[in-house]
Structure 1
Amino acid sequence: MKDLSQLVLRGTAGTLLAGHGGQKLFGWFGGPGPEGTRGMMETLNLKPAERWAFVGGASEFGGGVLTALGLFHPVGPLGIIGAMAMAARKVHWNKPIWATEGGAELPLTNMAIALALMLSGPDRYSLDRLFGIRLPGWVGPVGLVVALAIVAKAVQESEREIQEEGE
């Protein structure tokens, strides 16, 4: 049952995040596409905006696809965690927690799901198990530190940019 429950979580969260990234990268499902995403990154003072638009979309899309398939575990969940940490901090911060108020409810939920999947490892129904793929154990913890450090550095730079513009 544990493997089946992981499949449900991976399939649901991964597919939805891949779709969300597809909105940014390709304009799928009524999304903004690369130009609209670049504009959003500019309003968030993430520079260069074009690079951050690609990184955000690729983290969501790639992380979602890898998570849904259970491939190259834990790279997929790490992509989701990085993208959702950035979204929580740059888009939803300083708002009430609930999504109806613009808060971080959904990014935090996605991060919790991705972290739980990361910690539990690939399940019986993953492509990793099917093909015998096993990444080294250090990839998860090191990847998590690196992803969160990148988010922290980007947030720091964008906030410095905002302060300099205000002076």
Structure 2
Amino acid sequence: MEADAAAVDAGLLLLRVLVGVVFAAHGFQKLFGWFRGGGFEGTAGWFRSLGFGDGRVAAAMAGTTEICGGLGLAAGLLTPFAAAGVIGVMTVAAHVNAREKGFWSVRNGWELNYYLMAVAFGLAVTGPGRWSLDAALGLQLRGLAVGLGALLVGTGLGTLRWVTRRRDEATA
């Protein structure tokens, strides 16, 4: 029984770290230009081209959420909140990609966005495992209701960000 629990914890750790670190790296690309990213100004310009006002608020929100959500998942810290952040960013990305590109990632569609949303939702439901900061702090943040909460908050805020994109930053 202990070996089975250790295998589950190892699998959750591997999933959290691999997905979380790569997700955070995207935020570092957006905000600081690391890993051949566009940096803050380049990212703001891209968001501007998508109708997010001058793009600066969108770039700051996306980059910060990717870093905090990704590192939160990787560390297993406040996992449902980190998962909601990942889900929110991927909801906006899915809206961006759904306009003309369709589902399949081979055409730059929203397929990968939904895989990452599913991973984040799954981690919010199962929890990060014993090898996490949540466990070290004695936090029991997991379960179907917690996962559904992360999913609803993430998709709700991501969709809200998408539908309000043309109104907020033009005056910022």
Do both proteins adopt the same fold according to a TM-score greater than 0.5, normalized to the shorter chain? yes
Equivalent positions of 1:1-16 (< 5 A) are: 1-16=7-22
1:133–1:91 distance in 2 versus 1, CA, 3 Å? same
State the 1:93 CA deviation. Answer: 3.6
Q: Which amino acid aligns with 2:68?
A: G
Equivalent positions of 1:28-39 (< 5 A) are: 28-39=34-45
**Bigger mean CA offset, 138-147 vs 13-22:** 138-147
Partner residue of 1:132? 138
Q: Which amino acid aligns with 1:71?
A: L
Q: Does 1:65 align with 2:71?
A: yes
Partner residue of 1:107? 113
> Are the counterparts in 2 of residues 72 and 134 from structure 1 also a CA contact under 8 Å?
no
Deviations 1:3-62 (A, max 9, x none): 111111101100110111110011110000110110111111123521111111111111
Q: Which amino acid aligns with 1:114?
A: A
Counterpart CA distance in 2 for 1:125 and 1:136 is: 14
Q: Which amino acid aligns with 1:148?
A: T
Find runs of 4+ consecutive structure 1 residues off by over 6 angstroms: 136-139
Partner residue of 1:164? none
Partner residue of 2:157? 150
The counterpart of 1:79, out of the listed 81, 85, 107, is 85
> Are the counterparts in 2 of residues 75 and 140 from structure 1 also a CA contact under 8 Å?
no
State the 1:143 CA deviation. Answer: 4.5
Q: Which amino acid aligns with 2:138?
A: G
Counterpart CA distance in 2 for 1:160 and 1:41 is: 13
Count of aligned positions: 161
Deviations 1:62-117 (A, max 9, x none): 10000000011211111111101100111344313222211112211111111111
Partner residue of 1:40? 46
Counterpart CA distance in 1 for 2:163 and 2:115 is: 24
**Bigger mean CA offset, 3-12 vs 99-108:** 99-108
Counterpart CA distance in 2 for 1:13 and 1:93 is: 26
Output the TM-score relative to the length of structure 1.
0.85
> Are the counterparts in 2 of residues 46 and 154 from structure 1 also a CA contact under 8 Å?
no
Aligned-residue CA RMSD in angstroms? 2.3
Deviations 1:113-144 (A, max 9, x none): 11111111131100111122345987654444
> Are the counterparts in 2 of residues 92 and 102 from structure 1 also a CA contact under 8 Å?
no
Unaligned runs of 5+ in 1: 162-167
Identity %, equivalent residues: 37
The counterpart of 1:21, out of the listed 27, 31, 44, is 27
